[in-house]
Amino acid sequence: MTVTVSTLRKLKDEHRKFATITAYDASFARIFDEAGISAILIGDSLGMTIKGESSTLGVTIDEMAYHTRCVSRGVKNALILADMPFMTYASTRDACENAHRLMAAGANVVKLEGGSFLSETISTLVRNGIPVCGHLGLTPQSVNVFGGFKIQGRDEESRRKIIEECLAVEAAGASMLVIEGVPKDTGKAVTEALQIPVIGIGAGNDTDGQILVMHDALGLTMGHTPKFARNFLAETGDITLAIRKYISEVEQGIYPDDAHSYLK
Ligand code: KIV
């Protein structure tokens, strides 16, 4: 069955969890789609996973459009999300032009990192027929502002600020939101505060959905492996079985357990 933004909203309303994953090419996208994944993100994590760089900052809109086109050819049912790369939505005009390129390449939703400062941009995109996924918490495009890939929302003040910013993204018209790299109780608080589906990564198992970088789910990550990563391929010996196990454990709330979550 084709997954739309309404499908994910309905799952949230019915308290049913869903799994999503990144992909960058048609072959993996097809396997994930056939395994029953709800959504596939062409993440700007491709800066690391595909290009071997140390951050997402060097990813271009041409690269994102190319990989979005590749993924879209492998997908029949999953919702396709594509990341807007660093500095491609610094003005509303740039955001419209660049989001248009990703939609033309096959995306159903574009994802932007940031909070209330993006309100006008988000509402303009939505008014023009482009669904938006917000992204808050540890937003990798702000690595230099954070001074590293640091867990966010650990103290009460920053947790309150994150929730406030998430609410602003929802109020601007976003259809869903990714919350990354926060303690489990912050992931839970954001999920309860928002009407739109909240997809967690390193945010505990109380969010509506989960997302993993495919390299983390299949044991392909080079260098540092984050705490929440789990090699489902090593546990199953087959890519389709690995993704089915990931989906099933997310749907049952088994993954991520506390050993794969930040508790404080
Ligand atoms: O770029 C990416 O893969 C992402 C996920 C980590 C959510 O944004």
Rounded mean pLDDT, 112-130: 98
Specify the ligand 1 atom closest to the Cα of 111.
8
DSSP, res 85:
P
Pick the residue whose CA is nearest to atom 4 on ligand 1: 43
Q: Which residues make Cβ contacts (< 8 Å) with residue 155, sequence separation at least 6?
A: none
Pick the residue whose CA is nearest to atom 2 on ligand 1: 43
User: Would you say the CB of residue 22 lies under 6 angstroms from ligand 1?
Assistant: yes
User: Would you say the CB of residue 43 lies under 6 angstroms from ligand 1?
Assistant: yes
Element of type H or E holding 113: strand 109-113
Pick the residue whose CA is nearest to atom 3 on ligand 1: 43
**Is pTM, for the whole model, over 0.75?**
yes
CATH of the domain at 27: 3.20.20.60
Ligand 1, from 40, 42, 211, 215: best to mutate by most atoms within 8 Å of Cβ?
211
User: Would you say the CB of residue 177 lies under 6 angstroms from ligand 1?
Assistant: no
Q: Is the pLDDT score of 67 beyond 90?
A: yes
Q: How far apart (Å, rounded) are the C-alpha atoms in residues 263 and 240?
A: 31
Q: Is the pLDDT score of 264 beyond 90?
A: no
Which residue range(s) make up the domain with 110? 5-260
Give pairs for 144-153: CB < 8 Å, separation 24+.
Answer: 144/57, 149/181, 150/181, 151/181, 151/182, 151/183, 151/202, 151/262, 152/181, 152/182, 152/186, 153/182, 153/183, 153/186
Q: How many domains does the chain have?
A: 1
Question: What is the residue whose two structure tokens read 């990550």?
Answer: 221
User: Per residue in 159-182, pLDDT tens?
Assistant: 999 999 999 999 999 999 999 999
Q: Is the pLDDT score of 223 beyond 90?
A: no
